[in-house]
Homo-oligomer: A and B are copies of this chain.
């Protein structure tokens, strides 16, 4: 790396950010894939569904939440549906919207993957910081553009697809 001084503070911090993401993400992704057959995005989606009311979310909202495009979420959910972790649900009040519903198998899958993945996150990410530093980091990162959770359709009903 060139001397960070010559790059300016903005660029230096940004490049650190990019490299840190690439490095941590690569290793974390490799482990999660090898041990549980899940992508980082898969895991992220499963977490969102797990904590959602009735363990379901509109596909649109899910896409916004994990910052994927509409087509991206379709393709990701295709995989999770084929695996049986997620199934489709419909909204009785608006036939356009489709839900992603976490199945029991999916919930088990997440629970199984969670422990080791969180441990990996601890090892590769959190352990580099003290508890206070982690809070600071969390707060600082939280200022960057995040997804806005939009409320779901009011007449929430579900059917198997």
Contact = CB atoms under 8 A, between A and B. Distances in A.
Of A12, A122, A141, A146, most buried by chain B (CB within 10 Å of CB) is A141
Interface string A1-41: 11100111111111111111111111100000000000010
A7 B122 contact: no
B134 A136 contact: no
Interface residues of A, number: 58
User: How many copies of this chain sit in the oligomeric assembly?
Assistant: 2
B135 A9 contact: yes
A140 B112 CA distance: 31
A7 B69 CA distance: 24
16 contacts: A2-B48, A9-B138, A10-B118, A10-B126, A13-B134, A13-B137, A13-B138, A14-B125, A17-B21, A17-B137, A18-B21, A19-B144, A20-B141, A21-B21, A125-B144, A128-B143
